[in-house]
Amino acid sequence: MKLILAENLSQYEEEITAILKKFKNDGTLIGNGSRNVIKIFEIGGLILNFKSFKQHNIINRHVYKFYRKSKARRSFEYAHMLIDKKFHTPKPVAYIENHDFIGLTSSYYVSEQLENSIPLTDVLYDNSFPDRERIIKEYVSLIFRLHNNGIQFLDNSSGNFLIKKENDNYDVYMVDLNRMNFYDNIDIDKRLKSFARFTNDREIIKIIAEEYALLSGISSEFCLKKIIQATNRLLIKRKIKKVLKLYKHIIKI
């Protein structure tokens, strides 16, 4: 087992190791665990979030051992990078990898659980949510700052952002960090295409387009057009994928 702890947290090595041994049967499950399994545990007064990544097929197991960093390691390293650049994400605690002679068998990312926060999804689809438009604009500001830092957050869906109110401010925290691209500069088309996964709601898209236009100095009409085009293309792609999946199922029958 490979266990890497964040600086000044070496005192938790034994407790984390013990939790891994009982991870399957203990802890508080977050979500349905259909893909990755996320559980909450307490260690020495700290509430920790353990994310166990879905096991890979035999080819990817080999790839993640010898050629590419594991999702757990990328999450850990990207969290440190984001915090260094003054972005919000739950504090990274550790990452763990287990290997056999073929490749990666399992991996975990451990971070501090962000208390008193809500998923951005809850804000988007509750029209009566207090400061709803203001929070959406805070999200857009975050994405704009990421783009200006050359960071493309590939899993840009509303469930991967948490909202925490501090005094009269709303801080937007990023989670599910393992998929990012990095550039010296990101052109405007790539910037606006990054919103395709976020929502299909035209009202919300309009708010996003207008706020991104305000921040970037580009016309809101252009931003709206590009975001809608990207969203529609993704919807078509998903429909085709769904039809193909159904077709394959019918053939098997």
**30-83 per-position pLDDT tens digit:** 987 678 999 999 998 899 999 999 887 778 788 878 888 999 999 999 999 999
Q: Would 247 be classed as within a structural domain? A: no
Answer yes or no: is 249 within a domain.
Answer: no
- What pLDDT score does 62 carry? 81
The tokens describing 68, both together, are: 């590419």
What CATH code is carried by the domain that includes residue 95?
3.30.200
Instruction: Confirm whether 245 is domain-assigned.
Output: no
Examine the domain organization and report whether 16 and 55 are in the same domain: yes
Of the candidates 112, 131, 166, which is a domain's last residue? Answer: 112
Of the residues 52, 80, 112, the one at which a domain ends: 112
pLDDT computed for residue 56 by the predictor: 75
Token pair, residue 238, equals 């998903």
Considering the domain architecture, whether residues 102 and 143 belong to the same structural domain is answered as no
pLDDT digits (tens, 9 = 90+) for 191-216: 999 999 999 999 999 999 999 999 99
Query: Does 108 lie in the same domain as 122?
Result: no
**Residues 101, 126: one domain?**
no
In a domain? residue 252:
no
Q: Return the pLDDT at 197.
A: 94
With cut-offs at 50, 70 and 90, classify the pLDDT of residue 253: low
The one-letter amino acid code at 86 reads K
| Together in a domain, 79 and 26 | yes
Range of the domain at 234: 118-239
123 and 21 inside one domain: no
Q: Are 149 and 170 in a shared domain?
A: yes
Of 58, 81, 112, which residue sits at a domain end?
112
Same domain, 73 and 127: no
pLDDT, tens only, 68-112: 899 999 999 999 999 999 999 999 999 999 888 888 989 999 999
Backbone angles phi and psi of 41, in degrees to 5:
-135, 155
Q: Residue 252 has what pLDDT?
A: 67
Q: Please report whether residue 244 resides in a domain.
A: no
Residues 152 and 227 placed together within one structural domain of the fold: yes
pLDDT band at 251 (very low <50, low <70, confident <90, very high): confident
Predicted confidence band of residue 250 (pLDDT cuts 50, 70, 90): confident
Count of structural domains, the chain: 2
Q: Which pLDDT value is given to residue 249?
A: 65
* Strand residues in the chain grouped as ranges (E): 2-5, 28-30, 37-43, 46-52, 92-99, 104-112, 118-119, 151-153, 161-166, 169-174, 180-182
Q: What's the pLDDT band for 185 if we cut at 50, 70, 90?
A: very high
159-179 confidence digits (pLDDT tens): 999 999 999 999 999 999 999
Q: Looking at the structure, tell me whether residues 123 and 234 fall in a common domain.
A: yes
- Answer whether 111's CB lies under 8 Å from 49's CB: yes
Please indicate, yes or no, if residue 250 is contained in any of the structural domains. Answer: no
Residue 61 lies in a domain: yes
- How large is the average pLDDT for residues 140-144? 98
Q: Verify that 96 and 124 share a domain, yes or no.
A: no
pLDDT averaged over every residue in the chain: 93
Find the CATH number of the domain harbouring 222. 1.10.510.10
